[in-house]
């Protein structure tokens, strides 16, 4: 751990973001563990505020299990995304205490006390088909430490559905809007609120949707100035960014 990392760790302890026992665990463990198939970054929480997250796609069950063990040994929370059915079954046997959301394809195993929720993130979906990506964003934002609220199926094809929920999302610190098809919902939401809106294009749609490219281009050209865009189906990235914004807004 270099001077900058140590200073950041001590600052987190001073502000109450990190418990003393958790800080001790960070100091007792090396910055990085080489497993041969992965370099597990054990200082990411001290640098970035949250431990390394496991992206499971393309990894064997044994590789994922090995990384989970190292994070748990270091006293760090463990979040994994894009968990396949086979990987979920394997991890469920090895870590039965973990929380798995099969719709979101996530694995969540906290160690020790969770931080008190700071800030509020609302996730909106244009359609029910967007739910898997939205749930990935939801689980991620909760893991990062924010209060969350999910509103489903309020796309612009029936805009009265969105307006009926307006009071539920206008006081959010950040909003994630998940939409496929024409991808128009984020711009509409952006025109109703004074907080950042993170738009997530999904690969939902017919042929001319081009696997989410049509929604992506619409969102990139959103007229509302408070709309920013992440990659296609990137629920994790949207949930993470929204949670960081929401927590910063409540420091």
Please state the separation of Cα 148 from the chain's center in Å: 11
Confidence of residue 125 (pLDDT cuts 50, 70, 90): very high
| Beta-strand relationship, 174-179 and 120-125 | parallel
Least Cα distance to 93 among 67, 114, 62, 72 occurs for 62
What contacts 205, CB < 8 A, 6 or more positions away? 180, 181, 211, 212, 214, 215
Three-state secondary-structure class, residue 169:
helix
Return the number of other C-beta atoms located less than 10 Å from residue 248's C-beta.
Answer: 13
Bridge partners of residue 41, in order along the sequence: 32
CA-to-CA separations, 82 to 78, 135, 197, 204, in angstroms, rounded:
14, 12, 24, 17
One DSSP character per residue, 211-242 reads GGHHHHHHHHT-SSTTEEE--TT-HHHHHHHH
Angle among Cα 107, 200, 168 to the nearest 5 degrees reads 85
Look at residue 210 in the predicted model and tell me its pLDDT. Answer: 94
pLDDT band with cut points at 50, 70 and 90 for residue 29: low
Instruction: Parse the chain into domains and list their residue ranges.
Output: 3-109, 120-249
Separation between Cα atoms, residue 59 and residue 57, nearest integer Å = 6
On average, the pLDDT of the chain sits at 90
Q: What is the pLDDT of residues 86-116, one digit of tens each?
A: 999 999 999 999 999 999 999 999 987 677 7
User: Cα(68)–Cα(97) distance, rounded to whole angstroms?
Assistant: 13
Q: Which residue has the higher pLDDT, 198 or 10?
A: 198
Give the model confidence (pLDDT) of 220-245 as tens digits. Answer: 999 999 999 999 999 999 999 999 99
Q: Which CATH architecture has domain 120-249?
A: 3-Layer(aba) Sandwich (3.40)
């Amino acid at each position: 751990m270099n001077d900058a990392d140590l200073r950041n760790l001590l600052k987190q302890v001073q502000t109450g973001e990190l418990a003393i026992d958790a800080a001790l665990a960070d100091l007792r463990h090396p910055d990085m563990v080489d497993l041969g198939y992965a370099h597990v970054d054990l200082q990411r929480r001290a640098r970035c505020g949250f431990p390394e997250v496991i992206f499971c796609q393309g990894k064997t069950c044994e590789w994922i299990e090995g990384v989970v063990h190292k994070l748990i040994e270091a006293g760090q929370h463990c979040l994994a995304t894009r968990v396949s059915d086979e990987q979920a079954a394997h991890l469920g046997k090895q870590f039965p205490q973990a929380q798995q959301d099969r719709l979101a394809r996530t694995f969540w195993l906290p160690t020790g006390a969770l931080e008190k929720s700071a800030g509020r993130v609302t996730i909106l979906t244009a359609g029910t088909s967007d739910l898997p990506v939205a749930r990935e964003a939801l689980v991620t934002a909760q893991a990062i430490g924010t209060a969350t609220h999910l509103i489903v199926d309020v796309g612009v094809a029936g805009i009265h559905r969105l307006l009926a929920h307006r009071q539920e999302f206008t006081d959010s610190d950040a909003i994630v809007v998940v939409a496929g098809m024409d991808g128009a919902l984020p711009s509409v939401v952006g025109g109703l609120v004074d907080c950042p809106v993170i738009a997530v294009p999904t690969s939902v749609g017919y042929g001319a949707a081009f696997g989410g490219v049509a929604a992506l281009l619409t969102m990139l050209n959103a007229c509302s100035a408070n709309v920013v865009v992440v990659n296609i189906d990137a629920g994790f990235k949207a949930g993470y960014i929204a949670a960081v914004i929401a927590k910063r807004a409540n420091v």
